[in-house]
Amino acid sequence: MISIAEQKIVSIMNRKYGLDFRKRFEKLDEEMEELMEAKEQYVSDGTLKARDHIKEELADVMAVLTHLASLFDMSIDELLIEALLKIHIRDHNPKYLRNE
């Protein structure tokens, strides 16, 4: 079951931006670039303002990721569980699901 916040963001994003996953991937690229710029600002000056900028950009990335996941019938919790499982398995098998 997805959270109320996740339901709301998906509903808003569907209405505002549609269901074209290609465009959403393009938006994710854009948001990731902005996050990297915020990181560089933080590395450069380490101010609270720079940290807040990272928070703002992480929120944008998370919103786009949440919408993108929903377009593939996936939830954020489902993806986090998948990541945790992979981390656990890699503790015992470091090459698990790696393209080596």
Position 97 scores a pLDDT of 82
**pLDDT tens digits, one per residue of 26-83:** 999 999 999 999 999 999 999 999 999 999 999 999 999 999 999 999 999 999 999 9
Residue 98 included in any domain: no
Whole-angstrom CA distances from 88 to 74, 76, 77, 94 are 21, 18, 16, 10
Full domain range(s) for residue 85: 4-92
What's the pLDDT score for residue 96?
83
Domain containing 44 — which CATH number? 1.10.287
Q: How confident is the model at residue 100 (pLDDT cuts 50, 70, 90)?
A: low
Residues 98 and 29: their CA atoms lie apart, in Å, by 23
Structural domain count of the chain: 1
Q: Name which of 1, 15, 49 is nearest 67 in CA terms.
A: 15
